[in-house]
Structure 1
Amino acid sequence: MTTTAPPRAPEHTPVGAAPVAAPRRRRRRPGTALRYLVLVLMLVLLAGPLLWQLSLSLKGPADDLYQRPPQLIPSDPTLDNFTSVLQQIPVLTFVGNSFLVAALVIGGNIVLATTAGFALGRLRWRLRPVATGVFVAAMLVPLEAIIISQFLLVRSMGLTDTLFAVALPMLVTPLNVLLMRNAFLGIPTEMEEAAVIDGANAWQRFLRICVPQVKGVISVVAIFSFVGSWNDFLWPLIVLTSEDNYTLTVGLNYLRGTFYDDPRLIAAGTIIALIPIIVFFMALQRYFMRGLEQGGIKG
């Protein structure tokens, strides 16, 4: 004789409680896949040449540089290419010259661009719109159009073949001035008005009220200035004549000879020149991102 289990009483939902719905699977939108595809394409376009230069700098004599399809991972990896670069050219001298030029450019842009941006953004004077238009127009002028005039001006001042001549045209750039202007415009007016009531003059408002609010944008200006001065090649090539004053970008040109050209050494020199930029950006990355996101508004 078989026994049957008694029927199970149905579970009742408490009064006032909403019924529990079954979990639904999230459907991926077609736009999400498209965004990821665009990001991957941008990564390939931006990081692809850098990865290829790094791969080329690590390839040894047994690697075929011209095989099809190209091989990204070296089969005969070596660091001898970096050693050869250090032996063939005075890298430390060139790096020291580049750091000196970069220090002048960074200091000039931080001081001059910050003061000019404060004058354009916070002070009231008659020709302020005209001055702002001049800086905007200066951004549209290509370097090749004024480089001859720059060289004639530097030569008339007797500054040719000096590191100061390399840094002089980049001591302040229109882009950095406009960045600082927009940052100062984002500061609430009430803060400055309270300082005026307390008797603060323009310099006190600038140093104690406004500058602390735009530290993030100042770091952006410092990074832009460093990268621009460090990677500059055409202007140092024109104004410098002695090897002792060459910057790193000009000095790396010695790796390309008339009868001998090794792509491995050129790639290794490129990686050496890129390392200071990466280190400088990593040191200021937190302030750089904050400056791009927040601008001049704080709290």
Structure 2
Amino acid sequence: MSINMNRNGNQAVVRPVPLTVPSKPATGSGRSIGAILVDAGRLSPLDAERIVHFQKDRGARFGDSGKALGLLTDDDVRYALSVQFDYPYLARESNLSRELVAAHHPNSQPVEQLRALRSQLMLRWFDTGPDRRGLAIVSAGSREGRSYISANLAIVFSQLGLRTLLIDADMRAPRQHLLFNLGKGAGLSDMLAGRAGLEAVVSVAALQDLSVLPAGVIPPNPQELLGRQEFSRLLQALGQDFDIIIIDTPPASECADAHTVAVRAGAALVVARQNTSSLPQMTRFTHSLREFGVALVGSVLNDA
């Protein structure tokens, strides 16, 4: 994925890749990799000594020495580094979708591009006022990458140590419960219908500081549920517990839900796909958002 901002910073161009993020273990600042791995039961004290002797003889790093001796794996080293730098760790056998690139490959170039987008959003929206916590991810048409961008943006925000909530407000064809392997529990629709409370918000154990509110049961009246004052009150209440709220939405060409969500959030990031999105359709959509008073903080172009 790559992101480029134009001269006045109004537009972001993104070439996506799958995201994945590690979960946060005990803080290990100042501790050696060997001590971290021994404490975690990944390495015996005797093998740690063998690695230290090998390391001194070869002048190599502890992790490289351990792998050369066959006593450590890449995953062991990643785990230890995540503890040392107080950074979330995601095991390779994680059941989270491989589309979650920011989690699976946090050091990759595509994720660095996502972080560049994150910085722009912080400067243009989240850092400009105490009440600016919500951001709707919208698009004019379907299959343009809203769910992918929403999930991965939420992950990179959580990597900042910000309490981040990802809401799946696409109550027609939801995807976030699939990406995060959350099953078919209660979600947004159930909360808005008064059938569930805050227990519907799921903390993602593998991803520190990230929670997800899935769409829940697909209702017969999603537009009406989103149009009620309960949705506004819910966002306000969640804003007391979270620093960042990213909201996934359905395509604007198929229903009015995206407009409603964007108005409630106050701001929107527009997603388009190269060689797929209709420019006239997107122009009409963004114009209508502005008429409703929505702050358009940028746009993302998927070229994959």
What TM-score does the superposition give when structure 2 sets the normalisation length? 0.21
The structure where strand makes up a greater share of residues is 2
Q: Which has the higher helix share?
A: 1
Which structure's relative contact order is higher, taking Cα pairs within 8 Å and 6+ residues apart? 1
